[in-house]
Amino acid sequence: MAAVQPPWMATLQNPAKRLKPKARFNWVVSDWIRKILGWKYEWQAKLTGRGYYCGALHGESEYNITINSDRTVSCNCQDYDGAGHMGDLRKNTFEEIYFGPVAQKLRDELARGKMPIPTCTRCGDLKRLPARDAQPPAIRLPHRGMLLENTVRCNVDCTGCARETAAGLRVDQQLQMSLADMEQMAELMRQLGMKQIFYLNLGEPFLSPTIGQELPLLRRKNPDCRIVTSTNGVLLNTDAKREAALNFSHIFFSVHGVTDAMSEKYMHRGSFTKAYAAMQAMAEYRNARGLAQPILEWKYLLFNWNDHPQHIARAIEMARAAKLDFISFWPTNNPFYGISWRWQLGRLKHVGVASWKGREVDLRAEGQRGTATHPFLAAPAI
Ligand SMILES: C[S@@+](CC[C@H](N)C(=O)[O-])C[C@H]1O[C@@H](n2cnc3c(N)ncnc32)[C@H](O)[C@@H]1O
Ligand code: SF4
Ligand code: SF4
């Protein structure tokens, strides 16, 4: 059984900053950008007569519709302020919520060229209709992928993550999904025929005290599903948790630097040393069992304090030494003052190969290198 997490580990040490992440300067700027983009998109719709639709609300999306730890349902994975809440699975079925009035209002406003919530302006699922008077595609239930949040708590505090604001919105302060609820969610995923489950949202999945039971039950009900998580790695620190983690198809480790000091600049109260040890131990644990899954990937967000070619070369060398499958380098604008200018100026094109993430280095053995990491990705179902 997984070790129970002592509650103090989830308690961050700077309550003023922790409880109001959206008051941070980077978030104030980000909210202004959304406002300006909102005006721009609505004016473009007025001038061209072309409205919008939402890929997530038409069943096309792989990564947006989210079941939160309190079983509320959000249209997107950045729902820090609850604007994207569409319903509550304690009161309605998923189908009732998805085809219900709140979701329909979002669809209708988009079709009229309006931005129903500010998040739409920077959301990958916002699509422009191809022509004046064009109709959005038919609405079908999500099946390509959804997010499932087992917990909204976290052991660290990242500058660009307003997780604490979202945590304050969870109904009845349900910051952690119970095992009984998780069983129902696993069953819902099975009924929807979900091809991918992203077991993450606004929290640290391995902080859950019941992670050791959650993952086998999710896998039992969804044997062929591509189940993916993302973790800061620090708490993936026991054999019991590593055993549970074998149920994943793919694990991303969010580790942004090659020293404790570098990592601390974005992820406060994290630990590069512990995260690196966790990646290494997970690879060893998996390999000792002769398994090729979960795929283990170091996810390195690029900032202007960790993007020197020497840092990147060191990270690749360390990823190889830890026997990971991939290391990928992701540009980000959040926080805006951390933007990697080397990335922006095209100075990192020598790193691995270009991918939708940014750049990635495939470290797998000859023969596996370049191949799809999961059958769904080899031939994604329409
Ligand atoms: C909110 S986190 C939750 C999962 C886990 N706690 C983690 O950090 O990996 C979800 C995803 O957001 C990513 N993320 C965090 N800060 C980001 C930023 N400033 N820009 C882009 N992605 C970011 C993380 O790497 C992670 O994959
Ligand atoms: S934020 Fe807007 S575009 Fe994104 S999923 Fe929600 S309704 Fe769709
Ligand atoms: S580790 Fe993940 S959930 Fe925790 S603060 Fe960072 S991005 Fe947010």
What is the per-residue pLDDT across 265-283, written as a single tens digit (0 to 9) for each?
Answer: 999 999 999 999 999 999 9
- Answer yes or no: is pLDDT of 27 > 80: no
Across 238-243, average pLDDT: 98
Across 314-339, average pLDDT: 96
Do strands 358-362 and 353-355 pair parallel, antiparallel, or not at all (unpaired)? Answer: antiparallel
Q: What does the block give as tokens for 67?
A: 């079941």
For the beta carbon of residue 38, count every other beta carbon within 10 angstroms: 18
Phi, psi at residue 275, to the nearest 5°?
-65, -40
Q: Measuring from each residue's beta carbon to the nearest atom of ligand 1, which residues come in under 6 Å?
A: 154, 158, 160-161, 200, 202, 204, 230-232, 252, 254, 299, 301, 332, 334
Distance from the alpha carbon of residue 360 to the mean position of ligand 1, in angstroms = 17
Q: What does the block give as tokens for 215?
A: 């993952």
Model pTM score: 0.92
Distance of alpha carbon 258 from alpha carbon 316, whole angstroms? 10
Residue 87, Cβ density class (10 Å: 0-12 exposed, 13-18 middle, ≥19 buried): buried
Distance of alpha carbon 32 from alpha carbon 130, whole angstroms? 28
**Ligand 3 within 6 A of CB of 157:** yes
- Answer yes or no: is pLDDT of 85 > 90: yes
Q: What is the pLDDT of residue 4?
A: 30
**Ligand 2 within 6 A of CB of 68:** no
Residue 29, Cβ density class (10 Å: 0-12 exposed, 13-18 middle, ≥19 buried): middle
Taking CA 276 as the corner, what is the angle to CA 274 and CA 280, rounded to the nearest 5 degrees? 115
Distance from the alpha carbon of residue 200 to the mean position of ligand 1, in angstroms = 9
pLDDT band at 9 (very low <50, low <70, confident <90, very high): very low
Distance of alpha carbon 45 from alpha carbon 208, whole angstroms? 44
Distance from the alpha carbon of residue 334 to the mean position of ligand 3, in angstroms = 13
Looking at residue 241, its amino acid is K
Distance from the alpha carbon of residue 64 to the mean position of ligand 3, in angstroms = 17
CA of residue 21 relative to chain centroid, distance: 18
Ranges 17-21, 137-141, 201-205: which has the least confidence: 17-21
**Ligand 2 within 6 A of CB of 125:** yes
Mutate to test the pocket of ligand 2, among 52, 54, 73, 139 (most ligand atoms within 8 A of CB): 54
Q: What is the pLDDT of residue 72?
A: 96
Q: Which residue has the tokens 């769904």?
A: 376
Do strands 52-54 and 126-128 pair parallel, antiparallel, or not at all (unpaired)? Answer: antiparallel
pLDDT digits (tens, 9 = 90+) for 156-198: 999 999 889 888 889 888 899 999 999 999 999 999 999 999 9
- Answer yes or no: is pLDDT of 254 > 60: yes
Mutate to test the pocket of ligand 1, among 78, 157, 254 (most ligand atoms within 8 A of CB): 254
Distance from the alpha carbon of residue 254 to the mean position of ligand 1, in angstroms = 7
- Answer yes or no: is pLDDT of 17 > 80: no
- Answer yes or no: is pLDDT of 23 > 80: no
Distance from the alpha carbon of residue 254 to the mean position of ligand 3, in angstroms = 9
Taking CA 124 as the corner, what is the angle to CA 119 and CA 125, rounded to the nearest 5 degrees? 85
Phi/psi region, residue 331 (left: phi>0; alpha: psi -120 to 50; beta: rest), is: beta
Across 316-326, average pLDDT: 98
Mean pLDDT of the chain: 92
User: Residue 88 forms beta bridges with which residues?
Assistant: 72
Single out the residue of 129, 94, 86, 97 nearest to residue 110, CA to CA.
Answer: 129
Q: What is the pLDDT of residue 29?
A: 79
Distance of alpha carbon 166 from alpha carbon 184, whole angstroms? 23
42 three-class SS: helix
How much of the chain, in percent, has pLDDT values that exceed 90? 83
pLDDT band at 10 (very low <50, low <70, confident <90, very high): very low
pLDDT band at 6 (very low <50, low <70, confident <90, very high): very low
**Ligand 2 within 6 A of CB of 54:** yes
Mutate to test the pocket of ligand 3, among 17, 27, 158 (most ligand atoms within 8 A of CB): 158
Ligand nearest the Cα atom of residue 64: 2
- Answer yes or no: is pLDDT of 382 > 90: no
Q: What is the pLDDT of residue 5?
A: 31
**Ligand 2 within 6 A of CB of 182:** no
Report the nearest-CA residue for atom 10 of ligand 1: 201
Distance of alpha carbon 176 from alpha carbon 209, whole angstroms? 9
Ligand nearest the Cα atom of residue 228: 1
Across 16-32, average pLDDT: 69
Residue 281, Cβ density class (10 Å: 0-12 exposed, 13-18 middle, ≥19 buried): middle
**Ligand 2 within 6 A of CB of 119:** yes
Element housing 286 (H / E): helix 272-288
- Answer yes or no: is pLDDT of 2 > 50: no
- Answer yes or no: is pLDDT of 126 > 90: yes
- Answer yes or no: is pLDDT of 13 > 70: no
Residue 146 near residue 194 (C-beta atoms within 8 A) = yes
Across 347-353, average pLDDT: 97
